[in-house]
Structure 1
């Protein structure tokens, strides 16, 4: 009952129009039919006057023609005595606005779900005591309790042994994800059937969910250029309709013909189709793990001709992997890897974790160091088993170990040299992996009409060329500083240009591109804020999905606009010859409005998403 009352309050003018119609029927049945024309006519003119006030306001702000036809049609039908048609036009006008509002609410469902589910409170643990606190009071390091089926309030690390987490509202992944002790949990994800303990790793304002909410608020507040273009269609459409109605009146000599044409000429399909389609497109993008900051971004994605990519963390996985162990005589692979991994326990460099992971994967035991020190950008010196172990760059190791010699490496590989007890012990090779679906994503962009691709990176030319050749990228610029990237994007002639990046250093070029797309799964806030779209999952294939959503949204918006225009024009021409009475025409136009809204709602894209599954995910490698 409460829901019905809420609908009546929201769409009160529609309810009043229906009540007036029912009152007219009752009056006609009880012998007071003479009152009905006055009731319908006065009410219709009152609504027309109310709409005219809004129309004048729109004209003052430069939006001409939005409701001119509807107001003119109401007045014309009253003047010629078609009072029933006048009431139907009022119902069409007010009902069309209500349908538009309902369609917008339906289209924004996924966006609004993010806003309404934002965590508000957290259960803070102090020993065995539990205290509920506002989520904004949680600080990094706080131990929290997350009960069954509760939303994780802030980004956190799992302390309990394991749990299953529903991340669908964040990543779009429909099945629960198994998490184990030490794994990261995203705020906004939903805990499984058992309570777990977690440790906060970010405050609420910096957590993934709150960043998404901020992006959603920005996205839902914008209006696309195509929507404004649709507004401008109303002017020539209005002029055409008035001229056609005037000609029909002049030729037939019957003023009723003027009203019959105009009731079929309201521009509602024109005005409703584009906003509904674009909000539906943004909603579909959000459901696919991409926050799009407005319909204008979807338009640029639709028109894009060139795609530019950062390398590290975008086309590659951004984390190295051990590829070869090359020990010198007197050392074996397992022993050398064990010494390196044991020393690297005391390093914060990304390569250190790669060596430790490789040792664990191969079942190699790590040893405690008696002492250890890291020299930034060079390497680590540790004393293990009574011997000095030096791990790092060639020049650094050569200073501590005799007989050091460079090893042969392929493009994209990086060598880590090792000295043990003052002599050269060998080298280990690591390489950053391409994202497994990067090549498929680029191929899909080609299918979508993006003919030019480019890679910008700060890495060496040989490494950049190697990666580009593997992926089939047509242009490469290596050894770039952030300013160089901005200059390169600005000089591209095949526009609009999409730029995809993931790090803080990509923020300037993302802002400079026609459409910046940030790989925001790792919380690269600066990149996300400067981008027009943010990918919420660590999946490069979503770039192609974003372009696909842009293409589909604009196509559906234009299809819906022209569907309404063409059907209305055909019906007006038929009415100009007197074949459609005014009342029937008003009812038919209501059906045209409904068909236009339903056509535009296709941009929400349930069937479109089922048509193709996303490709997959994948990360480059800073030198020491």
Structure 2
């Protein structure tokens, strides 16, 4: 079936109206003018009756919209004999719905592209080769082949030595990411130019991409409360239009003038603007690695007055990193770091990778260790160059070095103690680092109108206040249980309030906030399921960017609605003086519809994203926005 035929069937109301018009033109050419009048009038009144039924149903539910203007305009033009104008009003109504549908599809293209890209089949490793199977049949532990430029079907671990993954469609990162053997890989990203093998760590349903698809599907089905913003203008706009039309009739004594005014009061611009703008805003957010679950979230973001952050994993990276060495004479810092890095090669401790990286950054050698033994939760013992090296907690190291002594640590720091051949050698310090762009993000939020900033954390008071002071956050509540966080959020007076967190323990408070934002880059968690928006890339500045998108979307929606009202009012006033015939007025109103849609489509935001990169915070040009 060809595309024109598909479009004609899809928008059958428009097709029927155009067909009626063509038939009327043919009849007029044959001299059957009276038949044309009856055909156009009967069809227009039938459409008006159908619209009236919907209007009555809405009124019974106490929903008073703008349908009365359209119905009145059709009836009035038929009664005064302007049957061509009546058909054009019908075309405007049906065409407006078609234009809205087209604009929605245009605005949703980033959301729809995620849904269309969902992997359907995978190459499962079997004895003697590979077999194609539906992704729904994959199990944890399956080994899969991913060919060049294919989409990874499930979350997994890379088995091949190295690959380059394009994550732009998921996280908005424009630069491919290098992954090495043992690194976790997420479903939905695109493989590079070499075939790779991965081992599935999740089923398809539990994988990151399917979680995103579910969020997107939910977002696409939602309707923003501000879509009803047009209805707030409905009563005054309807009363003004009817009053102006009545005055024009009374002043001239010509009922045609009543119809001419009402033709230009047909409310398509008001009905179209807000839905198109909000779908465009959600599409823009998805393109930049932010899944917004409903249009209403964008409205709340635009008006936010307070933002509350969890600390660990949100304002900080969430993993302790090497911060320095405190050697004990006669050992040197380099000796201690070399010994620890060599031992930590065999440790699963969260600090191991950080210590090894610190040694390599200093150009220190990392030697092979022998007889490595790990004491769970306490430390590691191994032999390096013939010396016994003990690394771990103070109590564990003190069992192997009688001269061990505790070192002084600052807020948010922890110490890893070291003994070499039974002698205390010193300690290595580690701390959970602040995110580099945390402070600029707070400044960006303040410029966007979010005046109050607060931090809630389960961490120790001293550590919490230390982090808060570095970021300039004055309102802090430390040592919080999940229930305490919910209580604190409920007591915030400056609303709407945004809560940003990343852990499972943040799920209750994310649900309790006006807008819960989950840092979901590490996978689908309870936090992302209970949140109103999910940031798919590990970048806190996207919180401010989400607020910016919300403000832009609401502004554009309101501007588009006001544009439609203003142009309609100007044209109605001109028509009241008899300067715009009913048929010409109906044609002009079609142009108003088009202008309103184009104005609302600005919310899709290509130029807005470029402006945000320039005007927001240092470094956003490297974040892959847009």
CA distance in 2, matches of 1:371, 1:605: 56
- Give the drift of 1:442: 1.0
Pairs within 5 Å for 1:126-205: 126-205=126-205
Per mean C-alpha deviation after superposition, the further-off stretch among 87-96 and 212-221 is 212-221
Question: SS state of the match for residue 369, structure 2?
Answer: coil
Q: Which residue of 1 aligns with 2:545?
A: 545
In the alignment, which residue of structure 2 is the partner of 1:226? 226
- Whether 1:8 aligns to 2:8 is yes
Q: Superposed, which structure 2 residues align to 1:437-456 within 5 Å?
A: 437-456=437-456
Query: Residue by residue, what CA displacement relative to the aligned partner does 1:577-618 show, whole Å, maximum 9, x if unpaired?
Result: 222111111111111111111111111111100112275699
Residue ranges of structure 2 left out of the alignment (5+ in a row)? none
Look up the match of 1:621: none
Q: Distance in 2 between matches of 1:15 and 1:319?
A: 61
2:532 alignment partner in structure 1: 532
For residues 253-292 of structure 1, what are the alpha-carbon distances to aligned partners after superposition, in whole Å with 9 as ceiling and x for unaligned?
A: 1111111111111121111111111111111111111011
Corresponding residue SS for 2:233: helix
Q: Structure 2: how far apart are the matches of 1:398 and 1:175?
A: 48
Corresponding residue for 2:366? 365
Q: Is the counterpart of residue 496 in structure 1 residue 496 in structure 2? A: yes
| 1:406-459 Cα shifts (integer Å, max 9, x gaps) | 223333332111233433221001122221111111111111011111122222
TM-score scaled by length of structure 1: 0.94
- Structure 1: which 5+ residue stretches go unaligned? 619-624
Match of 1:73 in 2: 73
Contact 1:237 1:267 in 2 (8 A): no
Q: Give distance in 2, aligned partners of 1:65 and 1:475.
A: 44
Matching residue of 2:206: 206
Q: Secondary structure at the match of 1:206?
A: coil
Moved more, 420-429 or 597-606: 420-429
Q: Is the 8 A contact 2:328 2:424 kept in 1?
A: yes
Aligned twin of 2:295: 295
Aligned equivalents of 2:5, 2:343: Cα separation in 1: 70
How far the C-alpha of 1:399 sits from its partner, in A, is 4.0
Distance 1:371 1:437, change over 3 A: closer
Distance 2:543 2:41 in 1: 55
- 2:247 matches 1:247: yes
1:311 positional shift: 1.3
Note if contact 1:149-1:193 (Cα within 8 Å) is conserved in structure 2.
yes
How far does the alpha carbon of each residue in 1:312-344 deviate from its partner, in whole angstroms, 9 at most, with x for none? 111111222212122222333333223333444
* Deviations, residues 541-574 of structure 1 (Å, cap 9, x unaligned): 1011000001101111111111111221222222
Q: Specify the alignment match of 1:622 in structure 2.
A: none
Cα deviation for residue 122 of structure 1 reads: 0.5
Q: CA deviation at 1:81?
A: 0.3
| 8 Å Cα contact 1:103/1:276 also seen in 2 | yes
CA distance in 1, matches of 2:397, 2:477: 32
Q: Which residue of 2 aligns with 1:560?
A: 560
Contact kept? 1:248, 1:257, Cα under 8 Å: yes
Aligned-pair distance for 1:351? 2.0
Mapped partners of 1:572, 1:511: distance in 2: 47
In the TM superposition, what is the alpha-carbon distance from 1:345 to its structure 2 partner?
4.3
SS of 1:548's partner is helix
In the alignment, the residues of structure 2 paired with residue 358 and residue 127 of structure 1 have an alpha-carbon distance, to the nearest angstrom, of 43
Corresponding pairs, count: 617
Shift of 1:499: 0.9
Counterpart Cα distance in 1 of 2:137 and 2:322: 42
The CA distance in 2 between the partners of 1:312 and 1:128, in whole Å, is 47
- Indicate if the aligned counterparts of 2:369 and 2:383 stay in contact, CA closer than 8 A: no
Offset at residue 25 of structure 1 (A): 2.2
Residue 524 (structure 1) shift: 4.7
Q: Could you say what the CA RMSD is over the residues aligned between the two structures, in angstroms?
A: 2.1
With over 3 angstroms needed to count, the CA separation of the structure-2 counterparts of 1:60 and 1:10, relative to structure 1, is farther
Encode CA deviations 1:128-149: one digit per residue, 9 max, x unaligned. 4111111122122211111222
User: SS at 2:148's partner residue?
Assistant: coil
- In the alignment, which residue of structure 2 is the partner of 1:352? 352
2:397 equivalent in structure 1: 397
8 Å contact kept, 2:265–2:572: yes
Moved over 6 A (4+): none
Partner of 1:426: 426
1:34-183 pair list within 5 angstroms: 34-183=34-183
The answer to whether the Cα contact below 8 Å between 1:452 and 1:474 also exists between their aligned partners in 2 is no
CA distance in 1: counterparts of 2:375 and 2:276, whole angstroms: 58
Aligned to 2:578, the other structure's residue is in SS state coil
For residues 424 and 191 of structure 2, the distance between their equivalents in structure 1, rounded to whole angstroms, comes to 51
Structure 2 counterpart SS, 1:592: helix
- Whether the 8 Å contact between 1:372 and 1:383 is mirrored in structure 2 is no
Structure 1 window deviating more from structure 2 (178-187 vs 502-511): it is 178-187
Q: CA deviation at 1:12?
A: 1.1
Q: 2:467 corresponds to which residue? A: 467
Query: Can you list the C-alpha shifts for 1:350-384, whole angstroms capped at 9, x where unaligned?
Result: 123322333444443243342513242x4345566
- Contact 1:319 1:354 (C-alpha < 8 Å) held by counterparts: no
* Contact 1:347–1:374 (8 Å) recurs in 2: no
Cα distance in structure 1, aligned partners of 2:328 and 2:364: 21
Q: State the 1:190 CA deviation.
A: 1.6
- Match of 1:485, SS? helix
**Contact map agreement 1:502 1:524 (CA 8 A) in 2:** no
Q: Do the aligned partners of residues 497 and 139 (structure 1) sit closer, same or farther apart at CA in structure 2, a change above 3 Å counting?
A: same
> Residues 559 and 426 of structure 1: is their aligned pair in 2 closer, same or farther, counting only changes over 3 Å?
same
Aligned pairs for 1:585-604 within 5 A: 585-604=585-604
Residue aligned with 2:521, SS? helix
Q: CA deviation at 1:478?
A: 2.1
Deviates more, 1:198-207 or 1:506-515: 198-207
SS class of match (1:459): coil
Match of 1:322 in 2: 322
Secondary structure of 1:297's counterpart equals helix
Quick check: 1:304 aligned with 2:304? yes
3-state SS of the aligned residue for 1:37?
Answer: helix
Instruction: Give the direction of change, closer, same or farther, for the CA distance of 1:138–1:544 in structure 2 (3 Å limit).
Output: same
Quote the Cα distance in structure 2 between the aligned partners of 1:586 and 1:461. Answer: 68
Q: Which moved more, 1:457-466 or 1:295-304?
A: 457-466
Contact 2:284 2:603 (8 Å CA) reproduced: yes
Who is 2:581 aligned against? 581
Please state how far the C-alpha of 1:387 moved relative to its aligned partner.
5.9
Q: Is the 8 A contact 1:139 1:200 kept in 2?
A: yes
Partner SS, residue 216 of structure 2: helix
User: Is this contact kept in 1: 2:66–2:234, CA < 8 A?
Assistant: yes
Q: CA deviation at 1:63?
A: 2.6
Bigger CA drift: 316-325 or 118-127?
316-325
Change (3 A) 1:607 1:96: same
62-71 or 77-86: bigger deviation? 62-71
